[in-house]
Structure 1
């Protein structure tokens, strides 16, 4: 396999199951059915963390297979709400805001000055 073939193969993959099958990752269909987008996003996130991509297509395939296996495994041992892959899961996290009392009293004309 050369780089062009590898890239062409990747372009043909359209589902989580396609990716898992292509990279020979054994999977439970029920895990994939519930977490398909999360698995693919985590896989993409792992790929973005790779500092230097291997030169050969075989080495790339092996790296991709390992990263996809890790992404899939994340959702075998956990769930989407815990892993918070997508921004929407992080929106409900509590945020701490601090506002100085003087800032509030300046906005109210009749507020007592401290």
Structure 2
């Protein structure tokens, strides 16, 4: 009997990776959410969760443990954006850079010089 005929179980990480929406990820992990918050901060929430996932080592962990850890990471990422806005959290580089660069004085151009 060849191994190709044996159905492969798809793990939670594969299912999350193949999810097509933030709502699907919340459903896969069984995390309740307010659609109004997800509509505003979906990319920020998923980026924050991805930052948490990047720090994790799942090798050798049981599927139930991996799912529980992913659920906890999504809950924490979601909670960050329930408590404050995407601007406050500054998950994306463009938002970090906006506050990291010193303010440069803008050049004044009198209207009389424009033709």
Whether 1:14 aligns to 2:8 is: no
Q: Deviations over 1:28-50 (max 9, x none)?
A: 00000000000000000011122
Whether 1:63 aligns to 2:69 is: yes
Q: How many residues align?
A: 93
Q: How far 1:4 sits from its partner (Å)?
A: 4.2
**Other-structure match for 1:28:** 34
Higher-Rg member (1/2): 1
Q: Give the TM-score normalised by the residue count of structure 1.
A: 0.74
Q: Deviations over 1:49-97 (max 9, x none)?
A: 22x325111110000000000001100001100000000101111446x
The 2-side partners of 1:68 and 1:87 are apart by 20
- Which 4+ stretches in 1 moved above 3 angstroms? none
Q: Give the TM-score normalised by the residue count of structure 2.
A: 0.73
The 2-side partners of 1:19 and 1:66 are apart by 13
Structure 1: state its 5+ residue gaps: 97-114
Q: Secondary structure at the match of 1:55?
A: coil
Instruction: Summarize the Cα distance change of 1:87–1:11 in structure 2 as closer, same or farther, 3 Å threshold.
Output: closer
Q: In the alignment, which of 2, 5, 10 is matched to residue 10 of structure 2?
A: 5
Q: How far 1:9 sits from its partner (Å)?
A: 2.2
Q: How far 1:14 sits from its partner (Å)?
A: 1.5
Q: How far 1:5 sits from its partner (Å)?
A: 1.6
Q: Secondary structure at the match of 2:98?
A: coil
Q: In the alignment, which of 24, 30, 54 is matched to residue 48 of structure 1?
A: 54
Report the aligned-residue RMSD: 1.8
